[in-house]
Amino acid sequence: MVKSKRFWRQKPAKTYDIDHTAFTTGLHVFTDGACEPNPGPGGWGVAVYRDGVEITSDHGGDSDTTNNKMELLGLLRGIEAAKALGAPTVVWSDSTYCVNGSNQWMHNWKKRGWKKPGNEELKNIELWQSIDAALSGADQIIIRWCKGHAGIAGNERADELSNLGLASALQI
Which residues are identified as catalytic? 32-33, 71, 94, 149, 159
Q: How far apart are CA 73 and CA 79, in angstroms?
A: 10
Q: How far apart are CA 23 and CA 20, in angstroms?
A: 6
Q: How far apart are CA 45 and CA 57, in angstroms?
A: 8
Could you write out the DSSP letters of every residue in 64-99? Answer: EE-HHHHHHHHHHHHHHHHHHHTS-EEEEES-HHHH
Contact yes or no for 154/23 (Cβ under 8 A):
yes
With H, G, I as helix, E, B as strand and everything else as coil, classify residue 102: helix
